Amino acid sequence: MQIAANKAVSIDYTLTNDAGEVIDSSAGGAPLVYLQGAGNIIVGLEKALEGKQVGDELSVTIEPEEAYGEYSAELVATLNREMFEGVDQLEVGMQFHASAPNGGMQIVTIRDIDGDDVTVDGNHPLAGQRLNFKVKVVSVRDASAEEVAHGHIHGEGGHHH
Protein backbone atom coordinates (compact mmCIF):
# COMPACT_ATOMS: atom_id res chain seq x y z
CA MET A 1 0.00 0.00 0.00
CA GLN A 2 1.35 3.40 -0.97
CA ILE A 3 1.23 6.52 1.16
CA ALA A 4 -1.55 8.81 -0.05
CA ALA A 5 -4.13 11.15 1.45
CA ASN A 6 -6.12 9.60 4.29
CA LYS A 7 -3.62 6.82 5.00
CA ALA A 8 -2.48 6.24 8.57
CA VAL A 9 1.31 6.14 8.37
CA SER A 10 3.95 5.32 10.94
CA ILE A 11 7.57 6.25 10.41
CA ASP A 12 10.87 5.99 12.18
CA TYR A 13 12.79 9.21 11.72
CA THR A 14 15.83 11.20 12.71
CA LEU A 15 15.87 14.96 12.27
CA THR A 16 19.17 16.80 12.11
CA ASN A 17 20.06 20.42 11.45
CA ASP A 18 22.68 21.53 8.94
CA ALA A 19 25.38 21.24 11.60
CA GLY A 20 24.57 17.53 11.87
CA GLU A 21 23.11 17.82 15.36
CA VAL A 22 20.18 15.52 16.10
CA ILE A 23 17.16 17.69 16.93
CA ASP A 24 14.59 14.94 17.24
CA SER A 25 14.35 11.22 16.66
CA SER A 26 12.01 8.29 17.14
CA ALA A 27 15.01 6.05 17.89
CA GLY A 28 14.51 4.26 21.19
CA GLY A 29 10.82 5.16 21.22
CA ALA A 30 7.68 4.42 19.27
CA PRO A 31 7.40 5.39 15.60
CA LEU A 32 5.64 8.62 14.73
CA VAL A 33 2.05 7.98 13.62
CA TYR A 34 0.29 10.54 11.46
CA LEU A 35 -2.52 11.06 8.95
CA GLN A 36 -1.21 11.80 5.47
CA GLY A 37 -2.72 14.92 3.90
CA ALA A 38 -3.98 16.42 7.15
CA GLY A 39 -1.10 18.72 8.02
CA ASN A 40 -0.09 16.61 11.03
CA ILE A 41 3.54 16.87 9.92
CA ILE A 42 5.37 19.58 7.97
CA VAL A 43 4.32 19.90 4.35
CA GLY A 44 7.79 19.13 2.96
CA LEU A 45 7.87 15.78 4.70
CA GLU A 46 4.34 14.90 3.57
CA LYS A 47 5.37 15.62 -0.03
CA ALA A 48 8.51 13.49 0.27
CA LEU A 49 6.52 10.56 1.69
CA GLU A 50 3.67 10.64 -0.83
CA GLY A 51 3.74 7.39 -2.86
CA LYS A 52 6.25 5.63 -0.59
CA GLN A 53 5.52 2.24 0.95
CA VAL A 54 6.47 0.05 3.90
CA GLY A 55 10.22 -0.50 4.12
CA ASP A 56 11.13 2.49 1.99
CA GLU A 57 13.94 4.62 3.40
CA LEU A 58 14.64 8.16 2.36
CA SER A 59 16.82 11.11 3.23
CA VAL A 60 15.25 14.44 2.52
CA THR A 61 16.29 18.04 3.05
CA ILE A 62 13.46 20.48 3.59
CA GLU A 63 13.77 24.22 3.18
CA PRO A 64 12.21 26.50 5.85
CA GLU A 65 9.23 27.47 3.67
CA GLU A 66 8.07 23.84 3.65
CA ALA A 67 9.05 23.28 7.27
CA TYR A 68 8.46 25.80 10.07
CA GLY A 69 8.68 28.95 7.98
CA GLU A 70 11.23 31.70 7.70
CA TYR A 71 12.30 33.46 10.86
CA SER A 72 10.20 36.61 11.19
CA ALA A 73 11.49 39.57 13.16
CA GLU A 74 7.88 40.81 13.32
CA LEU A 75 7.09 37.98 15.72
CA VAL A 76 9.51 39.36 18.29
CA ALA A 77 8.04 41.90 20.68
CA THR A 78 8.95 43.58 23.93
CA LEU A 79 6.19 43.56 26.51
CA ASN A 80 5.84 45.02 29.96
CA ARG A 81 6.20 42.58 32.81
CA GLU A 82 2.60 43.46 33.82
CA MET A 83 1.43 41.44 30.81
CA PHE A 84 2.51 38.29 32.65
CA GLU A 85 0.36 38.88 35.69
CA GLY A 86 -0.08 35.66 37.62
CA VAL A 87 3.27 34.17 36.68
CA ASP A 88 5.37 33.91 39.82
CA GLN A 89 8.80 34.04 38.28
CA LEU A 90 9.59 34.97 34.70
CA GLU A 91 12.65 33.31 33.23
CA VAL A 92 14.35 33.34 29.85
CA GLY A 93 13.29 30.24 27.92
CA MET A 94 9.80 30.01 29.43
CA GLN A 95 7.08 29.31 26.89
CA PHE A 96 3.48 30.53 26.84
CA HIS A 97 0.48 29.96 24.63
CA ALA A 98 -0.73 33.18 23.06
CA SER A 99 -3.43 34.00 20.53
CA ALA A 100 -1.93 34.57 17.09
CA PRO A 101 -3.01 37.37 14.71
CA ASN A 102 -4.72 34.74 12.50
CA GLY A 103 -6.89 33.63 15.42
CA GLY A 104 -4.98 30.43 16.09
CA MET A 105 -2.69 29.67 18.96
CA GLN A 106 1.05 30.14 18.91
CA ILE A 107 3.78 29.40 21.37
CA VAL A 108 5.89 32.34 22.42
CA THR A 109 9.24 31.99 24.13
CA ILE A 110 10.83 34.53 26.45
CA ARG A 111 14.15 35.56 24.90
CA ASP A 112 15.27 38.30 27.23
CA ILE A 113 14.28 40.06 30.44
CA ASP A 114 15.58 43.52 31.22
CA GLY A 115 13.91 45.11 34.23
CA ASP A 116 10.22 45.41 33.31
CA ASP A 117 10.91 44.75 29.63
CA VAL A 118 10.22 41.17 28.57
CA THR A 119 11.19 40.23 25.02
CA VAL A 120 9.10 37.41 23.56
CA ASP A 121 9.57 35.50 20.31
CA GLY A 122 6.61 33.90 18.51
CA ASN A 123 8.74 32.09 15.94
CA HIS A 124 8.73 28.31 16.03
CA PRO A 125 12.04 27.15 17.55
CA LEU A 126 12.91 25.61 14.15
CA ALA A 127 11.84 28.63 12.06
CA GLY A 128 14.40 29.59 9.45
CA GLN A 129 16.16 26.25 9.63
CA ARG A 130 16.73 23.75 6.86
CA LEU A 131 15.75 20.33 8.20
CA ASN A 132 17.31 17.02 7.25
CA PHE A 133 15.19 13.93 7.79
CA LYS A 134 16.17 10.30 7.55
CA VAL A 135 12.92 8.37 7.43
CA LYS A 136 11.88 4.72 7.24
CA VAL A 137 8.26 3.81 6.54
CA VAL A 138 7.12 1.32 9.20
CA SER A 139 3.45 0.84 8.34
CA VAL A 140 0.70 2.17 6.11
CA ARG A 141 -3.02 1.48 6.49
CA ASP A 142 -6.31 3.06 5.54
CA ALA A 143 -7.42 5.57 8.15
CA SER A 144 -10.89 5.03 9.60
CA ALA A 145 -13.70 7.40 8.65
CA GLU A 146 -13.58 8.74 12.19
CA GLU A 147 -9.84 9.42 11.98
CA VAL A 148 -10.29 11.23 8.67
CA ALA A 149 -13.13 13.30 10.16
CA HIS A 150 -10.97 14.22 13.15
CA GLY A 151 -7.88 14.91 11.06
CA HIS A 152 -5.64 12.72 13.20
CA ILE A 153 -4.90 9.11 14.05
CA HIS A 154 -6.43 7.24 17.00
CA GLY A 155 -5.03 4.39 19.04
CA GLU A 156 -1.41 3.43 19.56
CA GLY A 157 0.84 6.39 18.92
CA GLY A 158 -2.17 8.59 18.14
CA HIS A 159 -4.90 10.42 20.02
CA HIS A 160 -6.78 8.81 22.87
CA HIS A 161 -10.16 10.38 23.47
Round to whole Å and give the CA distance between 72 and 124: 10
Region from 62-70, 75-83, 107-115, 151-159 binding Zn ion, contact rule CB under 5 A: 151-159
By Cβ distance, which residue is nearest to Zn ion? 150
Is residue 38 involved in binding Zn ion (CB under 5 A)? Answer: no
CB neighbours of residue 44 within 10 Å: 20
Q: Give the nearer residue to Zn ion in terms of CB position, either 38 or 75.
A: 38
Binding residues with Zn ion: total (CB under 5 A)? 2
Bridge partners, 159 (sequence order): 154
Residues 6 or more apart whose Cβ sits within 8 Å of residue 140: 1, 2, 3, 7, 8, 9, 53, 54
Q: Which of 150, 155, 156, 160 binds Zn ion (CB under 5 A)?
A: 150
Residue 42 CA, distance from chain mean position: 7
Q: Which of 35, 4, 46, 49 is nearest to 149 (CA)?
A: 35
Q: How far is the CB of 5 from Zn ion (least distance, A)?
A: 17
Round to whole Å and give the CA distance between 43 and 24: 17
Is residue 111 involved in binding Zn ion (CB under 5 A)? Answer: no
Is residue 134 involved in binding Zn ion (CB under 5 A)? Answer: no
Q: Give the nearer residue to Zn ion in terms of CB position, either 111 or 150.
A: 150
Q: Give the nearer residue to Zn ion in terms of CB position, either 19 or 149.
A: 149
Which residues are at the interface with Zn ion (CB under 5 A)?
Answer: 150, 159
